[in-house]
Each structure stands twice: as C-alpha cells, then as structure tokens.
Amino acid sequence: MDTFAGPIIPSVELVNGLKIPILGLGTSHHGGYSHSSVVYALKECGIRHIDTAKRYGCESHLKKAIEESRINREDLWLTTKLWPGDYGCETTKAACLESCKRLGVDYVDLYLMHWPDGNALGKTNRELRAETWQVLEELYDEGICRSIGVSNFLISHLEQLKEDCDIIPHVNQAEYHPFQRPQELVDYCRSHGIVFEGYCPLAKGQALSHPDIIKMSEKYNCSPSQICIRWSIQNGVVTIPKSTKKERIWENCQVFQFSLTEDDIAVLNGMHEGLHVSWDPSNIE
C-alpha cells in the first residue's frame, strides 16, 4: 500500500544513479520525534525521505511508524548516521548493522559519518576518518548502504578523504539557511559530484522573524517557513526541515506550488552572515 494526499516531491540524482527526494523530514534528540506526526507525514503529506541518526535515539520508533504507515520499503528513502564514538575499523560495521536492526530494514539508503571529529586516542582525525570511510565503502559494496556520505564536513575534510579513499561521498549534509549559506562548500561539492543537503533551513526559528522574510511571506501569501524552504530548494539543496507538529509538517510540504523570483532569491542569498545555529566544524582538522 502506498497512497497519500500530499504533493509529488521531486528528487535529486546522486552520482550513482539513485534519486533522493529534495524534501525530507528531519528528526532529532531532545523532543525532536513524534510518532503520530511521522505517520502523518508519510500517509498524508507525501514524505518519502526521513533523516535520522543513532545519536537521536529514535531509530526504533521510526521502525514502528514506518510499519504503521504501510509504505513500501522500496518507496522510502531512509538516512541515518554513524556517531563518532563508533568510528574505526572495529566498530563501524557493527554500528551500521545495529542501526538497520533498530530501523527494521535490511539496508539504509544513505549512511553518513555524522561529524568530522573522531576524538580517538592515538589517531589523528584524518586517520580515523579515512579508516572509518573505508568501512563505509565496504558497506556500500555489500549493498547494506545504497549510498554513503558525510555530515558537517568542510572542503578541507573532503579533500583529505578524496586523497585517502576510493569513493567520493555521494552526499554532504551541512547547516544551510539564509544566515548560513556556505556557497563555496556547495560549489565544491557540486564540482565533485557530491549532492549538498541542508539541515536547519529555518535557522531553528530565527529566520522566521526576519522582516524581509515576513515581507516575502505576505507577498507570496505563504508562511515564513515556506519562504525559507522554497529558497533552499530553488538553490538546488536537498532540504530536511524538522517538526513534530502535523500542521507544520503539512505546511512545510506545500512549497511546490509557487516559485520565488530571482530578485527575492538574491535578497535571501544576501542575508548570509556565517551564523551557526548548530555545530560549527570550522576548528576541526
């Protein structure tokens, strides 16, 4: 069974030919999960892309929500992430298989290294990243991970990985909103065949009170959150807003019926000020 009353969500093609929906539903720890809202997103809003992580502690809850939604596995895109505490050749594969078990699946569509800092005694971050990525390459070859990528990696981290390993990440997920638009990183990813995926598209709510964004929401007869999400999508970024409220999830999915003008895109692009509302990886070697 695979029926819903929401929009058809476009996809972005990865270098390996897989297609990731350009809009997904993010989850998180500290109250960032609602069972009924995830079921609602899947059944009523057309969401087929869910982003989670071991760190968030909701993989097993997602298993129940997916089962309840009765959406076919092959119609879902499931992303989860490897926590730095599990980095290394001895622990990475087991952590991935445990995530699959908690999610109730035989494979994940995308598996990400969650953070460039490994904090391993006796090893540099670069050594640990390379060692861990080589295991992800094996998981990819085995089909346990249909695609592999990284999260919060900067150009320097990606350059090192390119030198140390065989497979270029399929995806790099990083903070992306009007106040944090790392265009140099986006351009680097695109020039190397890496799909850029953005989280915190609303800057954890801070963007919703900006007067220019409010003015645009009035112009387009939509919400400030829809302006931010539409801007991100029009910039070609895979976007994963997070909400536990059904009405917000529905609202966040209604962004394919309008387009922002080039002038308004330029205004939003010009708001970049380097603000991080989440982790800042700038000081990680």
Strand bridging mode 148-151 / 110-113: parallel
Task: Look at residue 194 and give its three-state secondary structure.
Answer: coil
Neighbouring residues of 91: CB distance < 8 A, sequence distance ≥ 6 = none
Identify which of 218, 226, 233, 221 has the alpha carbon closest to the alpha carbon of residue 247. Answer: 226
Beta bridge partners of 171: 149, 195
- Please indicate whether residue 56 is annotated as part of the active site: yes
Sort strands 238-239 and 195-199 into parallel, antiparallel or unpaired.
Answer: parallel
**From the candidates 40, 56, 87, 176, which is the catalytic residue?**
56
Burial degree of 206 (CB within 10 A; 0-12, 13-18, 19+): middle
210 among annotated binding-site residues = no
- Residue 154 phi/psi, 5° resolution? -95, 175
| Beta-ladder partners of 151 | 173
Q: Which of 220, 198, 265 is nearest to 22 (CA)?
A: 198
- 215 burial (CB, 10 Å; 0-12 / 13-18 / 19+) is middle
Residues 6+ apart with CB under 8 A from 106: 100, 144
Binding residues for substrate: 114
Binding residues: 114
Residues designated catalytic: 56
